[in-house]
Structure 1
Amino acid sequence: MWKRALDRAGVREPRLRRDYAKQRRAARRYRTAEYAAARLLLPASLLPHVVTAVAFMHDTDERIDRGTPDERVAALAEWDGLVRKAFAEGDSGLPVLRCLVRTSERHPDVRAHVEEFLRGCEREVAWRTIADDEELERYVREYCLPALMLTACLFAPGDGEARTAFTDGCHRLIRAMQRIDFLEDLPEDVRAGRVGVPADAVARHGADLTRPGAALGRLVEEQADRAAADLAAVSLADVVAPSYRPFVRALVGVQHLRLDAMRRAGASLATRTSGPPAPAAALLLLRETAARARRAPGAGPRRLSGK
């Protein structure tokens, strides 16, 4: 399937095929459930470009997420220079940037979203705490949404009104995902001294983020409710082309699974991470894969065996 995807994506040069394979492995490690959804549910011609966008986003995050604030700023400046050089020269010594350049040639919208994402990284390297929901909204709008749009732009509708609705849906989706991320990663973020759960909410509940307790449980439930409200308002499948709908439904469905797991974990998130249960995620993907197969061109009604 992967070789066919590369063929359909127009990636035929041996070196680039190896480069794209590296991005595929990186994307699979970073978001296992979401990668499985893309592999099973997206058109083959789009898959290499989606995994490249995800791998680029993750590579960027890894480069700017370590060290002191000054070191992070310096890392971003260096990375920004490498990305711009790759686009200017049409090549790079880094596989992820070689793939990004090719993907941008095939899908020109990607280039503009790369620019916006890199500008948003300035907020990512600068923040130490999130004061309240207003600051969380700025963080989502300036950094998280551009990060999501690196991939989402690949299947965004072309019509202006539909595209506006699509971007709004992506905004709500990523805001929910970021709330979930901040709680799923709570122990790691506490150790790093960069907690993304809004500080006013922590104070309001009197929660101790380092140990389980009733106050932390109430905080988790409140943040879960706010994420759930955003997920309930997401209607992306209504505005994308039919061939992308199974993937979009699966992507949103995985976030519901993450949210449910977070609720079950509750105050124990102080000491452990959570994530979507593998059996439930697999069942979701199987259901959408079957729905996609039924809607495929030439797929006729199934005959009953009579057994």
Structure 2
Amino acid sequence: MWKRVLDRAGIEEPQLRRDYTQQRRAVRRFATAEYAAARLLLPAPLVPHVVAAVAFMHDTDDRIDRGTWDDRTAALTEWDGLVRKAFAEGDSELPVLRCLVRTAEHHPDVRASVEEFLKGCEREVAWRTIADEAELERYMEQYSLPALMLTACLLAPPDAAARAAFIGGCHRLIRAMQRFDFLEDLSEDVRAGRPGVPADAVARHGADLTRPSAELGRLVVEQADLADTDLAAAACLTDVVDPSYRPFLRTLIGVQRLRLDAVRHAGASLATRTSGPPAPAAAALLLRETVARARRTGH
């Protein structure tokens, strides 16, 4: 039960229990599969803090992803101020920030991750197109990786060498995820005037991003192959974390593999439709890891 999860996480104040419950409902609604994986596969004391980090990331993205560049910049400035005020005062009028502050008290690495993420949001607000691989790498380092580390820092090992390997694995994972995220949402991003596929790769293949073609198909294959290399390298993550986190990470990486396979299958049709992992396969993967975890722990 959720109340027991809050107990095990040391969240005792009635208002905070309501706040975390509110964030749980929100995350379960907009990230159903991710919430299920965290709830079923991560140790109970960690789950509310993962929920808080994911809710904060989603709230931030929602605030800075609407309107003109001026609107987005103003929204980020306002939000940055509210976040800093919450940390300075140890409280906020907003439940999502009250939870974030409490989570950072339990897990101090979260505060540094929030700082890096908010700094990276400036790049997220500013970009219109990505010129080449070098610019894509800067985008991933400055925004995508800090966004992932909001939650990943909760799983990071304390040993310095293992932690360095963990961050390297997270970097490879988010490079893969961001690349096929741009492919999955290609049709929507093109309509919004913000395609994430590097422009030099588009030009090299002579691809028209607005319609299916052989050229676009070859571009998708090239980008999928690059993501595949990074995703394979990210498997090292399960070797360096605490054993109790490994089922969750295996599931996360497995779902990304399903996403990548779906992108390959969609190919040039991504010009006109979005893509995503098949729900039955993702559910089966989660079920296998849940059953295996239950057998190992005796629950």
> TM-score scaled by structure 1?
0.94
Q: Which amino acid aligns with 1:195?
A: P
Q: Which amino acid aligns with 2:65?
A: D
Q: Which amino acid aligns with 1:271?
A: T
Deviation track 1:155-191 (CA, whole Å, cap 9, x = no partner) reads 1100000000000000000010001111111122112
- Superposed, which structure 2 residues align to 1:76-95 within 5 Å? 76-95=76-95
Q: How far, CA to CA, are the matches of 2:275 and 2:23 in structure 1? A: 25
| Matching residue of 1:28 | 28
**C-alpha contact 1:33 1:254 (8 A) present in aligned 2:** no
| Matching residue of 1:257 | 258
| Matching residue of 2:195 | 195
Tell me which moved more, 178-187 or 77-86.
178-187
Q: Secondary structure at the match of 1:45?
A: helix
Aligned length: 298
Q: Secondary structure at the match of 1:154?
A: coil
| Matching residue of 2:277 | 276
Tell me which moved more, 184-193 or 220-229.
184-193
- Superposed, which structure 2 residues align to 1:1-307 within 5 Å? 1-234=1-234, 235-296=236-297
Please, which runs of 5 or more residues in structure 1 have no aligned partner? Answer: 300-307
Q: Which amino acid aligns with 2:279?
A: A
Q: Which amino acid aligns with 1:109?
A: D
Q: How far, CA to CA, are the matches of 1:295 and 1:230 in structure 2? A: 30
Q: How far, CA to CA, are the matches of 2:136 and 2:36 in structure 1? A: 29
Q: Which amino acid aligns with 1:111?
A: R
Q: How far, CA to CA, are the matches of 1:151 and 1:186 in structure 2? A: 26
Q: Which amino acid aligns with 1:106?
A: H
Q: How far, CA to CA, are the matches of 2:4 and 2:221 in structure 1? A: 44
Q: How far, CA to CA, are the matches of 1:140 and 1:103 in structure 2? A: 25
**C-alpha contact 1:34 1:254 (8 A) present in aligned 2:** no
Deviation track 1:285-306 (CA, whole Å, cap 9, x = no partner) reads 111112211221x57xxxxxxx
Q: Tell me the C-alpha RMSD between the 2 structures.
A: 1.2
Q: How many Å apart are 1:120 and its aligned residue? A: 0.8
Please, which runs of 5 or more residues in structure 2 have no aligned partner? Answer: none
Moved over 3 A (4+): none
Deviation track 1:88-118 (CA, whole Å, cap 9, x = no partner) reads 1111111110110111111111001101111
Q: How many Å apart are 1:39 and its aligned residue? A: 1.2
Q: How many Å apart are 1:34 and its aligned residue? A: 2.0
